[in-house]
A and B are shown apart, each in its own frame.
Chain A
Amino acid sequence: MTSSTHPFEQEEVMAYLDGELAANRAANVAAHLRECADCAAAAEQMRDVSVRLSDWSVESAPASLTKKLDAARAEHAVAKVRKLQGFSGRLGGKSSFLRNRWVWAAAGAAALLILVLRIGLSTARQELRHSEGLQLAYTEQSRSADLPESQAVGTTPDHFMARPAPPTSAASLGTSAKFSSPSADGQSTPEPTAPMIARTASLSLTVKDFAPLEASVKAVAQRHNGYIASLNSASPQDAARTLSATLRIPSAQLESAISELKQLGRVEQESQSGEEVTKEFTDRTARMKNARATEERLLDVLRNHTGQVRDILATEQEIARVRGNIEQMEADQRALQTRVDFATIELSVQEEYKATLQGAPTATATRLHNAAVDGYRAAIDSVIGVGIWALQAFPTILIWAVALFAPARWIWRRLRRTAVSQS
């Protein structure tokens, strides 16, 4: 029986008998077997082999197999329970929740995520600190570099500090503060009858012509019977010149002074504020009055004393103490009065910067040298930075590595077992 005389090989007929052929192929084989006696006989012999093989029966499984298996199952169950108990016991005897492998897998993943985030945040923080440090260092360097070139006026010239005599009366001030008549002895401070306001103004300007600025500011102060409390100007290289000044102008003339200052350049920013100091002034006036009365009584005691020298000395010491307090309060009161009489103008002026061509450009060799030095410093800084980061992060990484070792190993073994069983 060959393929030349029969359309199907015996092996295919065998597959048909085993039910291993596709439906259409099986139908063809079945049809052929009905027509071909040779193939049908071969198929019958093949079936006979299977029938004869079925004679090979073996004895029934011994009953001990069931018993042994039951015992082994019980042992397996006990071992499983012990394992779970031991497992959960090590974890604090929690519920089966902790025995769920997915819980552990999730916990491991979460711990890993936290570790990654922590390292990432730590790195970002260090980079931020590093950049802030660089920026600060750059600022400090810029300042130190600018100082020699600037005309910084650390000590304000005396003529700027020359302060005109404060207005002697409330009428001359024309300010918002109104006072009652002073007492006859001239020592008592007048009681305010109107709110006392300490006014402050802030003005930022940009000017095109910086040269006459100082003189202009000084002229404004003088015109308004004011004075310049401080003035600083700076002329850094490759940057705009700046001037900052504190002007004290009689409060009544504050508005007009500000208007004149605005004429000097373009206004970048302007603000005004007022602080009411009436209560502070009144309180201090009352305390000064009491202190003076105390002083008068002590002086009377001293004048009419009939006691021992020790008492006289004690009275004098007390008079000196009270006198000191009175003088301190008078000074504070005068300062407060000045703040009310003279408004403060914080002036900040910046020149419109025009870049100017410097001398000959830096030589190429010098630039290469500088670049090499900068590169070397950057490389060293990066190595040191990595080292510092490693030292800072190592304890954290070590802790998490220890914590994650067991779950990671469990997951890895689990995956490996799955791969082996699938293969």
Chain B
Amino acid sequence: MQQSIVAQVFADEWPRLVATLVRELGDIDLAEDAAQQAFTEAAASWRPDNTPNRPGAWLLTTARRRAIDVIRRKSTLREKMGRQVPDAEAVDVAASVGGDGDAGGFGSDHPEANQLLDDQLALIFGCCHPALNREAQIALTLRSVCGLSTRQIAAAFLVPEATMAKRLVRAKDKVRNAGIPFTVPARERLTERLDSVLAVVYLIYTEGHTASDGPALIRGGLCDEARWLADLVADLLPDQAEAWGLSALINLTDSRRETRVDADGQIVLLANQDRSRWDTEMIEAGRRRLVHADRLDDTGPYQLQAAIALVHAMAPTAEETRWTTIVTLYDHLLGFEPTPIVGLNRAAAVSKAYGPAAGLEALDELMAEPQASSELDSYRYYHAARADMFLRLERPAEAADSYRHALDLTTNDSERDFLTGRLAETRNLQRERH
């Protein structure tokens, strides 16, 4: 029973707790260990009829005490950290004044609430600092902001726990040795630094959404973490349109999660998904967040992708999708991201809006550019999209060829099954016509 109370509190309090501790202690490792210990103690001592009035304050006080224990044990740590550590006695005094562990800290009614928002932002910006490589940013964010254990992160990214542990140690060593600050960037740097935060959150989502290897197409845990993170970042930065765009995009895409694969783990295409099972609450949350972003009048790629997802979400049936609107949105998106992948998605939309011949034409246009051509040729979705257009044009021989290409390139079991199925259908069609 107490386990579940702590679990509830964990989701809300972990990032706040770690954020505050990182600022106070100046050491992310120490902050995490102290937070972990505080939760362990909470799990052992909280009872349904005896839970602190302000669990956050209780946890902060406990974590501070544990951190000080560690600092006392390792007297050299003070020099190693090179920053001021809180005075142990001062914390004890503050704790005793606060009665039931109310040493101040959390709660929106508290004067320190603004400090807390800043701390959380600082933690996120620190974990996603551009001086860290992308893998390190992702691992640190999941560990420190989301509170996932090393084992959970390793499982989510299908790497051995030791590999993930090493990655985290290396990241924290760089944070410490290079002096990466856990602070909110200056106003003039905020937008460029936010890019890296949003990229990390989006990558966590896409990793969860389409597992690059292995049996399961969707690893729900990562999707949940990414959606939670995206919402948090947007809420903390109310005037950053792209933060709201990403939050909208993830909500809108994730609303379809339950219908993307069937009971056997097979992919279900958007057109064949059971729309009655789309999560309407998430769609509404995504829509509201996109409206908020739009009011800020600073269009960007996440907002445009969210708008595309919203057009899909609002179509009562696949046939009623407003594909011409989607093509227009892709045209705008190409302005921000002139990549072959966006071009491919646009071509697929063109084939829905204006017919498969127009779609093939758009694909051929893309392939006329050598750089794009070589990238798309090794991309399984290009061949799958091409196969689909050939099939709709009743050119099964070329369709079969393209499906075979796509199959050669896929590493995901569930995609392989899907493509094998389509290839078999195409062959049947070929046979019927002979």
Q: Do A and B bind each other?
A: no
Q: Which residues of B contact A (CB under 8 A)?
A: none
Q: Which residues of A contact B (CB under 8 A)?
A: none
